[in-house]
Amino acid sequence: MIVITGGAGFIGSNIVAGLEKRGCKDVVVADTLGRSDKWKNIAKRELAAIVPPEETLNFLRFHEKEIKCVIHMGAISSTTEVNCDLIVATNFGLSWALWEYCRDLGKRFIYASSAATYGSGKRGFEDREDLPYLNGLRPLNPYGWSKALFDRKIARETAEKRGTPPQHAGLKFFNVYGPNEYHKEAQKSVVAHVFSQVREGYEARLFKSCNPAYEDGRQLRDFVWVGDCVEVVLWLLDNPDVSGLFNVGSGQPRSFYDLAEAVFTSLELEPRIGYKDMPEELKDKYQYYTKADIGKLRAAGFLKETTSLENGVAEYVKAYLTQEDMYA
């Protein structure tokens, strides 16, 4: 049995789909569905159970003999959330409780970290696990800080040999896009936002730059297709001896202009791209450049090529966003 927290969310539901395609039948989703269409993310899946987050630990203890691995994707993932108590309770407290469970009972543990831990990127984007480096990172928002806090906790536990799960892998996801993100609303990928604007007959609207080193729309991010993220998780399940902290991205920084242009190309339309002022609350929390150094993941044995921005956007638009059924 594999338990996926946040399994009805964006990345989590794509992992569930990936496991089902492999023939894995004992998959448990721990998540809230609420009143939105989030339930559609898992509507096609065969599931062993759906568990409320607050019951996750009780479920794990009751089924401890059946559990093989906990894939922890659940989090308060909004970069604009300001309730720090809620963020810490979910992104740190629950993560630590799951780590302790997996450590004490010998279960494998794969969890989501984030590229938001790198902050502005002044110290680079290396998925190092030494405490001096991790302690020197300065995330730009509470979400990024909470993810960095857990990475640092695990690095300390490992360095001081306090005991670990038999496999423990933290995945620093960069700017992920793809199907099943629709419930995220304002936090959806720029691909989804641009597609909505174009479908409604408007030009694509990107943020103006407040950094003289970058022209409007030329801010650079490492955009990664969600299918590539799933492949990394499946590879880890196939390689139980691999542990550590790993960047998960394309390894290629691309501009928001490139991304918007790819959406128009996928729709066989001429690009119409304009610019809007960046909200004041984002100006001092904005990443102008990210690039996943994926050398460590390659060295560990993950050799599958990443999906290019053009191919990923084309698949997203043609196979999902323009279809009546947009869900993976």
Catalytic residue IDs: 143, 184
Strands (E), the chain: 2-5, 27-30, 49-51, 69-72, 108-114, 168-173, 175-177, 204-207, 220-221, 223-225, 244-248, 254-255, 273-276
Write out the H or E segment, with its range, that includes residue 16: helix 10-21
Q: Is 310 helix (H, G, I), strand (E, B) or coil?
A: helix
- How far apart CA 247 and CA 231 sit, in angstroms, is 13
- How far apart CA 125 and CA 132 sit, in angstroms, is 14
- How far apart CA 288 and CA 300 sit, in angstroms, is 29
- How far apart CA 80 and CA 71 sit, in angstroms, is 25
Contacts of 129-133 with C-beta under 8 Å, sequence gap 24+, read: 129/155, 129/158, 129/244, 129/245, 130/155, 130/159, 131/155, 131/156, 131/159
Token representation of residue 54: 């607050």
- How far apart CA 3 and CA 51 sit, in angstroms, is 10
Measured from the Cβ of residue 274, the count of other Cβ atoms closer than 10 Å reads: 14
Residues with Cβ within 8 Å of residue 8, at least 6 apart in sequence = 29, 31, 32, 33, 38, 39, 41, 42, 50
- How far apart CA 276 and CA 193 sit, in angstroms, is 14
- How far apart CA 71 and CA 54 sit, in angstroms, is 16
Q: What are phi and psi of 310, to 5 degrees?
A: -65, -45
